[in-house]
Amino acid sequence: MRIDLHTHSTRSDGTDAPAALVEAAAAAGLDVVALTDHDVMSGWDDAITAAGSVGITVVPGVEISCERDGRSVHLLGYLVDPADSALLAELDLARSSRATRLTRMVDLLAADGIPITQDHVAAQVPPGATPGRPHVADALVAAGVVPTRDEAFRRWLADDSPYYVRYYAPDPAAAVALVRGAGGVPVLAHPLAARRGVAPTLALVEELAPLGLAGVEADHPDHDAAARRAVRAVARHTGVFVTGSSDYHGTGKPVRIGAECTDPDALAAIEALGTGSAVARP
């Protein structure tokens, strides 16, 4: 069984609509795919409807943007209740803060002569999507300033850039509690993917496991062999399970859907723990 538990659609910063993403997953030979857009769950219904047509299982999920000590941390929440008021309030707050933060980032870029405007960025945000730095990157690509999203991040949009503007994001410990409170299963995403601007530490696994963290992403395109071994070692030590995922974003990143996969035992653990929503089988 081939299982990819981390993908993004146009509802956040991916380039495939939810239904198209599910169709791409089926075409790639996946049996199970999770839709885990940033801070939003609005793509679930379209993904589940499409899954019935192509015969693939969908795991409803969300990737919560967190922050610790000024660094980004991402927490995946599977099978949460999409109507949970506490979780929804936190996600709404994060999205609102991110939108105003992008305005300030674009203004800083423009003030330094980088040819970009708010309208350029707005044109890159699909209807219903959560605006984010990848859309600023797409605007820079569309304007011919850089050839790729990755180059835009390297030059101007990373966490240590002078154009980076902080925004509200919950602490990862609070996010674990929110996911658990919504009946979901929290899994720490790509903890050693330092090149993507996320916190390069496994200490969070040690801290969060007693608080309810259930799993950690080990097999990820941004983890080399040493990182994967390190993640597995801390997972064994703390008793959490490991997952593998592509972190697919469509054409926004050069990673194919299904490039990394999860063991069926980890999916079984997620299903056993999750009570807020259910895996959707065809």
Task: For 161-193, write each residue's pLDDT tens digit.
Answer: 999 888 889 999 999 999 999 999 999 999 998
Please indicate, yes or no, if residue 281 is contained in any of the structural domains: no
* Residue-number span of the structural domain to which 140 is assigned: 96-157
In a domain? residue 126: yes
Q: How many domains, in total, are found in the chain?
A: 1
Q: In this structure, what CATH number is given to the domain that contains residue 115? A: 1.10.150.650
Sequence-distant (6+) residues with CB within 8 A of 81 are 87, 182, 183, 184, 276, 277
Does some domain include residue 53?
A: no
133 in any annotated domain:
yes
Give the whole-angstrom CA distance, residue 185 versus residue 213.
Answer: 8
Residue 86 domain-assigned (yes or no): no
In a domain, 136, yes or no: yes
Spatial distance between the Cα atoms of 101 and 73, rounded to a whole number of angstroms: 18
Please indicate whether residue 97 or residue 14 has the higher confidence score (pLDDT): 14
- What is the DSSP pairing of strand 71-78 with strand 57-68? antiparallel
Question: Between 129 and 21, where is the model more confident?
Answer: 21
Separation in Å, CA 108 to CA 18, 133, 226, 255: 33, 14, 38, 30
Stretch 68-96: mean pLDDT, rounded? 93
88 with 47: CB under 8 angstroms?
A: no
Residue 87 has what pLDDT? Answer: 98
The pLDDT of residue 159 is 83
Side by side, the strands of the sheet bearing 71-78 are 3-4, 32-35, 57-68, 71-78, 185-188, 215-219, 241-244
**Residue scoring higher pLDDT (216 or 94):** 216
Supply the pTM of this predicted model.
Answer: 0.85
223 domain-assigned:
no
pLDDT in tens, 89-134: 999 998 888 778 889 999 999 999 999 999 999 999 888 777 888 8
Q: At residue 206, what is the residue type?
A: E
What is the distance, to the nearest Å, from the Cα of residue 41 to the centroid of all Cα atoms in its chain? Answer: 12
Better-scored residue on pLDDT, 193 or 50 = 50
Q: Is residue 119 part of a domain?
A: yes
> Nearest Cα to 132, choosing from 102, 92, 162?
102
Q: How far apart are CA 35 and CA 41, in angstroms?
A: 9
